[in-house]
Chains A and B, each alone.
Chain A
Amino acid sequence: MLNKITITLGLVVVQLTSVAQADGYSVMKNVDDFKTKAKAVADEITSINSDFVQKKVLSIMEEEIVSKGKFLFKKANSIRWEYKDPFVYLIIINDGEIFIKDDNKENKFDMKSNKTFKGINDMIINSVSGNIMDDDNYTVSYYESATNYMVQLVPKEEKMKEFMSAIQVFFDKTSHDVVRVKMIEESEDYTSIEFKNRLVNSAIADDKFSFK
């Protein structure tokens, strides 16, 4: 009996640490301190204007698909996500509606009617603004490296799990800004979005989030 418990505990520990150690991360020492500081930074954010580099890693292909663009966020829930290279594609999320423009095709959805869409939307908004610590929809664990903090979210809902098995949000250790978001699929393929030239609380015109 005791052996069984030891083995189970052992397995849990190995599982908990394996994700983190693979990336040079270990379990975060002072979670409360990190949470307080990250929350203070997130609370101050009214807007984000940032370049992004997205990497889609398909392990079987031994290939990275890299795309770049511009990311805008304005409180409470407006997002403009614009791919510029090597293809053009625009997503605007505003007030529960999602607008997609691909060449001349325009599509509009109401996210309120789709729980999964809403889940993804909330996840994006909350992770880029660093506001992810107390989400009941995820099992949250905390890690750190020499330069970064990392918060790992594992979705509880089955539908969300189909899209991603885990989301890792990376924070700069000194500024507590979100610098990277990594979405990992069940197959271990992943999408990593790195934020560069991040400008916080600059003025962003409302029409950037309007559907023309």
Chain B
Amino acid sequence: MIRKNLILGIFSILLLASCATNPYKSLTEVEQPNNYNLNLVPAFKDLSKGTLYKAKVEILKKYLSGLLMIKQVKGSNRVIFTSETGLKFFDFEFAPDTFIVHEIMEQFDNKYVLNTLKEDLGDVLFYGVSESLLSQVKINGEESFIFRRVADDDWLYYFYSEELLNKIERASDKKKKVIITFENYEEDIPQLINIAHKDFKMNIELNYIKR
């Protein structure tokens, strides 16, 4: 009886462990020819003109909406989030070698929120992509072209179909953490971007505003 329980126990641990270790079933690396240079096409090809989104942010049970402006300024990507009435929530700069918080409202100014926003918006903007090694991978059941790279303690997966980025997934070795989708490209601009967190209730929806 003890032995049976022990076997069952070991079996369930093994089962749990195998479920937990790989969020992607049967992932294989695609071998590239020598000197083959992998290059990721970003969601935004040109940010020299300001790009404006209506943003809806849900954090836990709180809701906040506003306007998110993204623009390339002197080699950096600047992201400013204001209320519809013009109140500034934050102003971030993704500079090539550093991240700068120019302004942040008290309510957003905590380490956890700030890091999450930096990571999410940074992923959307391909922040840090050029410094890391890329590999192409195949995932069973996925039609897209998939590339991945290491980002701090996580993996980032980039899903492309018809040469357009339609999804970024941030995952640890054990589970998916953030899923970012890009939809309805018009004139090289995704009209809808959605950032969904899997490990806690947070969602950011960005709808492009035509001006």
| Residue ranges of A at the interface with B (Cβ–Cβ < 8 Å) | 54, 56, 58, 60-61, 63, 65-67, 81, 83, 86-87, 89, 91, 102-103, 105, 107, 162-163, 183, 185, 187, 189, 191
Contact = CB atoms under 8 A, between A and B. Distances in A.
A11 to B, nearest CB: 27
A56 B56 contact: no
Secondary structure call for the A interface: strand
Q: Which 6 A-B pairs have the closest CB atoms?
A: A191-B86, A63-B50, A102-B65, A89-B84, A56-B86, A61-B71
B121 to A, nearest CB: 16
A81 B50 CA distance: 26
B69 A61 contact: yes
A122 to B, nearest CB: 15
B112 to A, nearest CB: 21
B56 A102 contact: yes
8 contacts: A54-B85, A60-B73, A60-B78, A60-B91, A87-B67, A87-B209, A103-B56, A105-B63
B84 A83 contact: yes
Interface string B82-102: 101111100100000000001
Interface residues of B, number: 26
B105 A162 contact: yes
B87 A163 contact: yes
Contacts of B210: 86
A54 B67 CA distance: 13
B78 A61 contact: yes
A86 B53 CA distance: 11
Contacts of A103: 56
Nearest to A58: B80
Contacts of B84: 67, 83, 87, 89, 102
Contacts of B193: none
A106 B148 CA distance: 40
A61 B73 contact: yes
Contact of A63 (B71, B85, B105): B71
Contacts of A56: 67, 82, 86
Contacts of A102: 56, 65, 84
Contacts of A86: 209-211
B176 interface: no
B52 interface: yes
B86 A107 contact: no
Contacts of A163: 87
B103 interface: yes
A83 B82 CA distance: 15
B106 interface: yes
B71 A191 contact: no
